[in-house]
Amino acid sequence: MRTLTLTDGSDTLTLTDRPTTEDFPPLPYGLTLDDVVAVRAHEVKAGDLVVAQFADGTGVRPTEHTPTPFPADPHTVSDCPCEGCEECDNVDGWTMTNPGRVADVGWRFVCLSPSEPGDDEYDDEPCVIALRNRPVAVISVNVVTAARQVAEKAEPPMRMYGVMWSDDFEASSPEEAARLAYEQLKSYATDAWPPVLEVTDEDGRMTVVDLNAGDGVQG
């Protein structure tokens, strides 16, 4: 549990510990709640990691942890690219009951992230719309970026590589050459030295890897 103070110093908030159930995975890149700061919704910057929101009102405000923290993409509700979601429908319903509220939407609400389609219509993630002054717990984009860079250096991201091996075989047909090549490949698993491989990454850069080298040094 942590105590946070809003940037304008107007309110002190209690950030409870993040749930540890399977619906609440750990924060990415080794980040923790010690990295969190409290801002109002309209102060959230693009790329800030939204970790939790606090209930509206005064006094003790319960923490509403975000099951999957998301990088913010803040914008006005009128600029939302959403083509319709539950949250946007709720805002539309709020204005329809009193048309005079239409002009209030811009200064009352902010969209922190547009809706995202799921595997089917029932899995769609709605927009995250909050009152502009609602307290939000975030990890700033600068802290997230630094942590991601450290994590990627420690464990490089997985990429797709193409691996090619080639050799020459004297044969009477392509089929026989293929069989000879296959037999040679199988022999590498038992009593022969491994081949020299050409490895090409997603950007088309090729590296020749000599597995015969004792230390596996790339050539």
Read off the pLDDT of each residue in 37-52 and give the average, rounded to a whole number. Answer: 95
Specify which residues 198 forms β-bridges with: 164, 208
What's the chain's average pLDDT?
Answer: 84
> What is the per-residue pLDDT for 217?
45
> What is the per-residue pLDDT for 53?
93
Q: Which of 46-50, 109-113, 161-165 has the highest mean pLDDT?
A: 46-50
Q: Examine the pLDDT at 86 and tell me if it is beyond 90.
A: no
pTM of the predicted model as reported, rounded to 2 decimal places:
0.67
Read off the pLDDT of each residue in 7-33 and give the average, rounded to a whole number. Answer: 89
Q: Examine the pLDDT at 16 and tell me if it is beyond 70.
A: yes
pLDDT tens for each residue of 183-215: 888 888 777 778 888 889 888 888 988 887 755
**Secondary structure (H, E, C), the chain:** CEEEECCCCCCEEEECCCCCCCCCCCCHHHCCHHHCEEEEHHHCCCCCEEEEEECCCCCCCCEEEEEEEEECCCECHHHCCCCCCHHHHHHHHHHHCCHHHHHHHHHHEEEEECCECCCCHHHCECCEEEECCCEEEEECHHHHHHHHHHHHHHCCCCCCCEEECCCCCCCCCHHHHHHHHHHHHHHCCCCCCCCEEEEECCCCCEEEEECCCCCCCEC
Q: Examine the pLDDT at 118 and tell me if it is beyond 80.
A: no
What lies within 8 Å, CB to CB, of 218 at 6+ separation is 207, 208, 209, 210
Higher pLDDT, 72 or 100: 72
> What is the per-residue pLDDT for 92?
75
Domain assignments of the chain as residue spans, ordered by start: 2-154, 162-210
